[in-house]
């Protein structure tokens, strides 16, 4: 019970999104209250990262930049891309002379980088904004800015709905933040939500001072051109665009030189990454020129990053089943430092629902992609995202999702109840007609099956040996370290004289559904 309470506490402190409520596998019973409709069930203590929801970020102003005497505070919600964006924002503000603080009560500028993916995520942000009222009362001139997807979705409306807000800045406008801050400082409300077809913040070096110094995210593209019927991202993050590969490789190299040993290449649909230095090759022309030797695709980009150093691990997220090519899988197989782990969101196991979702693949196609992974990268772990109770989903169709889970046996899954988002294709075309209690019950069934699979897969790992990148000291026992194997599974083992940021060979001796437990092999 004590442990349950402590996990509940962790969950309470996590404010939002995809990982809206973090569930740790050791829970015996999963209460609906805990899930609050948006279960992110994560069976790996990777939850350590996921508890970053609402995390404040501390950064350092470059010494060459004169301080302007003002402090900013930034907290972030949502997906990894949002956290990576906050690092870009921090870099822009540092360069404009702002210093960072992790205490919002000390700040002259409070920024909240928001998520709009589900209604719950937005409610949390609104609730959080109320906490900043006191600062504005106490500190004359203190400003509150809302960044990210919710800012983009609500635009000026945000200022009307939440009087506390002074600045609204969409994801493509962070370069203009210093101007927006000046505008708001002069008493006007400042809004910029223009979406761009070009902005990738390519040359801005994100600041990462509050990271673990071992693993980092690199945004390789922005936006999304897919129009999944349930999803607000194409409206809040704009058209898809790929970042110049040279700046990506330079960023990864610099991270490696600073001691980082793992980079995760981030995009909403990494498989459609495509960059050409030829400025005439844009849009459709770039798509058509995909076999042009001057065009770097995702497989090519992965190879360039993998070649930086054999002990720099490369991960990526997210893969789209319609776009994940065998080329990418062959590249994974070719380089031992490209991690054997694919996050391949299925959303539903039923072809009619997938069509309504506009995912542009069906059940058979998805299965065929799973087969390709198993054939080309047989040791790869596969994880997923699942939505329960999408518009008109029947009991039989829900069972197709369960049977897909049985077929794949995902090592990790983010599982959500469908939440209608204004402006999306589904909101316009379909009725959100699956009752809430049915959605929740189906979600519970999905979660229960997933938990069984995770335990089953972990049991299969007992007795095996893995190379582990050590990420830190275990939160439960400071005599133990934890790290991940290439399949992204967390392994805990006795510390000995090993250090975070190095590799160890570990033999798994036992497991829970959430963690592998092992001993180091000399």
222, interface contact from ligand SAM, ligand SF4, none, CB < 5-8 Å by kind: none
419, interface contact from ligand SAM, ligand SF4, none, CB < 5-8 Å by kind: ligand SAM
Query: Binder to ligand SAM among 52, 71, 118, 489 (CB under 6 A)?
Result: 118
Does position 228 interact with ligand SF4 (CB under 6 A)? The reply is yes
Using CA atoms, how far apart are residues 111 and 150, in angstroms rounded to an integer? 13
Does position 117 interact with ligand SAM (CB under 6 A)? The reply is yes
Bridge partner list, 265: 218, 316
Give the largest CA-CA distance in the chain. 65
**Site map 196..225 versus ligand SF4, x via CB under 6 A:** ----------------------------x-
Residue 180 or 229 having the CB closest to ligand SAM: 229
In angstroms, what is the minimal distance from the CB of 516 to ligand SAM? 26
Q: Which two tokens stand for residue 93?
A: 């503000």
CA geometry: angle at 331 spanning 326 and 336, to 5°?
A: 135
- Candidate ranges 9-17, 184-192, 226-234, 506-514; the one touching ligand SF4 (CB under 6 A): 226-234
Does position 272 interact with ligand SAM (CB under 6 A)? The reply is no
Show contacts with ligand SAM in window 325-354 (CB under 6 A): 345, 347
Query: Binder to ligand SAM among 274, 320, 398, 442 (CB under 6 A)?
Result: 320
Residue 81 or 110 having the CB closest to ligand SAM: 81
Does position 268 interact with ligand SAM (CB under 6 A)? The reply is yes
369, interface contact from ligand SAM, ligand SF4, none, CB < 5-8 Å by kind: none
Place of tokens 């991690």: 339
Using CA atoms, how far apart are residues 480 and 495, in angstroms rounded to an integer? 5
In angstroms, what is the minimal distance from the CB of 506 to ligand SF4? 34
Does position 344 interact with ligand SF4 (CB under 6 A)? The reply is no
- Candidate ranges 228-236, 289-297, 369-377, 512-520; the one touching ligand SF4 (CB under 6 A): 228-236
Residue 101 or 419 having the CB closest to ligand SAM: 419
Does position 18 interact with ligand SAM (CB under 6 A)? The reply is yes
In angstroms, what is the minimal distance from the CB of 469 to ligand SAM? 25
Residue 167 or 228 having the CB closest to ligand SF4: 228
Distances (CA, A) of 69 to 73, 98, 184, 511: 14, 7, 17, 51
In angstroms, what is the minimal distance from the CB of 52 to ligand SAM? 15
Using CA atoms, how far apart are residues 291 and 267, in angstroms rounded to an integer? 21
In angstroms, what is the minimal distance from the CB of 202 to ligand SF4? 21
Question: Contact, 128 vs 164, CB < 8 A?
Answer: no
234, interface contact from ligand SAM, ligand SF4, none, CB < 5-8 Å by kind: ligand SF4
Helix or strand run (H / E) with residue 353: helix 351-356
Place of tokens 């054999």: 310
117, interface contact from ligand SAM, ligand SF4, none, CB < 5-8 Å by kind: ligand SAM
Question: Could you tell me which residues come within 8 angstroms of residue 195 by beta carbon, excluding any fewer than 6 positions away?
Answer: 152, 170, 171, 172, 223, 237, 238, 239
**Number of shown-chain residues binding ligand SF4 (CB under 6 A):** 9
18, interface contact from ligand SAM, ligand SF4, none, CB < 5-8 Å by kind: ligand SAM
Query: Binder to ligand SF4 among 78, 148, 234, 514 (CB under 6 A)?
Result: 234
Does position 231 interact with ligand SAM (CB under 6 A)? The reply is yes
Q: Please, how many CA atoms are within 13 Å of residue 440, restricted to the half-sphere of its CB?
A: 11
Place of tokens 């069934």: 445
Show contacts with ligand SF4 in window 305-324 (CB under 6 A): 320
Does position 226 interact with ligand SF4 (CB under 6 A)? The reply is yes
Query: Binder to ligand SF4 among 20, 268, 384, 486 (CB under 6 A)?
Result: 268
Considering only CA atoms, which of 89, 76, 49 is closest in space to residue 206?
89
| DSSP percent split of the chain into helix, strand, coil, nearest 5 | 35, 20, 40
Show contacts with ligand SAM in window 383-442 (CB under 6 A): 385, 387, 416, 418-419, 421
Question: Contact, 417 vs 438, CB < 8 A?
Answer: no
Question: Contact, 306 vs 330, CB < 8 A?
Answer: no
DSSP state of 106: G
- Candidate ranges 30-38, 230-238, 296-304, 360-368; the one touching ligand SF4 (CB under 6 A): 230-238
Tell me whether strands 71-76 and 55-56 are parallel, antiparallel or unpaired: antiparallel
Considering only CA atoms, which of 266, 381, 252 is closest in space to residue 312?
252
- Tell me the chain's radius of gyration from C-alpha atoms: 22
Using CA atoms, how far apart are residues 500 and 484, in angstroms rounded to an integer? 11
Question: Contact, 7 vs 91, CB < 8 A?
Answer: no
418, interface contact from ligand SAM, ligand SF4, none, CB < 5-8 Å by kind: ligand SAM
Query: Binder to ligand SF4 among 19, 101, 269, 487 (CB under 6 A)?
Result: 269
Give residue 82's Cα distance to chain centre: 7
In angstroms, what is the minimal distance from the CB of 510 to ligand SAM? 32
**Number of shown-chain residues binding ligand SAM (CB under 6 A):** 19
Using CA atoms, how far apart are residues 1 and 355, in angstroms rounded to an integer? 44
Question: Could you tell me which residues come within 8 angstroms of residue 357 by beta carbon, excluding any fewer than 6 positions away?
Answer: 228, 229, 230, 347, 348, 387, 390, 426
Instruction: Let me know how many helices (H) and strands (E) the chain has, helices first.
Output: 19, 24
Dihedral sign (CA 263, 59, 200, 153): positive
Q: Which residues bind ligand SAM (CB under 6 A)?
A: 18, 79, 117-118, 230-231, 233, 268-269, 318, 320, 345, 347, 385, 387, 416, 418-419, 421
Q: Which residues bind ligand SF4 (CB under 6 A)?
A: 224, 226, 228, 231, 233-234, 268-269, 320
């Amino acid at each position: 019970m004590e442990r349950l309470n402590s996990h509940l506490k962790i969950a309470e402190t996590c404010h939002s999104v995809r990982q809206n409520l973090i569930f740790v596998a050791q829970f015996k019973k999963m209460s609906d209250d805990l899930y609050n409709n948006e279960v992110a069930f994560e069976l790996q203590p990777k939850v350590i990262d996921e508890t970053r929801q609402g995390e404040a970020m501390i950064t350092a102003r470059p010494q060459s930049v004169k301080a302007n005497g003002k402090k900013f505070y930034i907290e972030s919600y949502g997906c990894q891309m949002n956290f990576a964006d906050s690092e870009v924002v921090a870099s822009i503000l540092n360069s404009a002379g702002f210093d960072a603080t992790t205490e919002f009560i000390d700040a002259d500028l409070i920024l909240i980088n928001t998520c709009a993916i589900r209604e719950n995520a937005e409610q949390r942000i609104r609730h959080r904004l109320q906490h900043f009222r006191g600062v504005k009362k106490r500190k004359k001139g203190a400003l509150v800015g809302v960044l990210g997807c919710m800012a983009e979705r609500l635009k000026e409306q945000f200022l009307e709905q939440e009087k506390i807000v002074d600045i609204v800045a969409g994801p493509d406008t962070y370069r203009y933040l210093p101007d927006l801050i000046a505008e708001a400082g002069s008493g006007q409300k400042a809004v910029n939500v223009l979406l761009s077809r070009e902005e990738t913040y390519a040359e801005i070096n994100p600041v990462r001072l509050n990271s673990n110094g071992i693993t980092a995210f690199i945004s390789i593209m922005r936006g999304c051109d897919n129009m999944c019927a349930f999803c607000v991202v194409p409206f809040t993050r704009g058209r898809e665009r790929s970042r110049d590969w040279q700046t990506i490789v330079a960023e990864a190299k610099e991270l490696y030189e600073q001691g980082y040993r793992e980079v995760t290449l981030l995009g909403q649909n990494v498989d459609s990454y495509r960059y050409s230095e030829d400025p005439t090759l844009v849009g459709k022309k770039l798509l058509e020129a995909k076999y042009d030797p001057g065009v770097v695709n995702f497989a090519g980009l992965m190879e360039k990053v993998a070649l930086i150093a054999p002990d720099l691990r490369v991960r990526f997220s997210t893969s789209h089943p319609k776009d994940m090519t065998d080329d990418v899988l062959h590249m994974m197989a070719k380089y031992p430092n490209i991690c054997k782990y694919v996050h391949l969101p299925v959303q539903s196991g039923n072809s009619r629902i997938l069509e309504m979702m506009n995912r542009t693949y069906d059940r058979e196609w998805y299965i065929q992609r799973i087969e390709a992974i198993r054939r080309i990268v047989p040791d790869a772990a596969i994880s997923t995202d699942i939505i329960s109770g999408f518009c008109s989903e029947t009991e039989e169709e829900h069972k197709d999702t369960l049977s897909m889970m049985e077929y794949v046996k995902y090592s990790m899954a983010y599982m959500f109840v469908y939440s209608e988002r204004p402006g999306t294709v589904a909101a316009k075309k379909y009725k959100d007609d699956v009752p809430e209690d049915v959605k929740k019950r189906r979600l519970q069934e999905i979660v229960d099956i997933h938990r069984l699979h995770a335990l089953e897969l972990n049991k299969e790992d007992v007795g095996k040996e893995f190379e582990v990148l050590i990420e830190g000291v275990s939160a439960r026992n400071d005599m133990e370290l934890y790290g991940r194997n290439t399949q992204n599974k967390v392994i805990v083992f006795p510390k000995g004289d090993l250090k975070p940021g190095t590799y160890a060979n570990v033999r798994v001796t036992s497991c829970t559904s959430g963690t592998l437990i092992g001993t180091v092999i000399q």
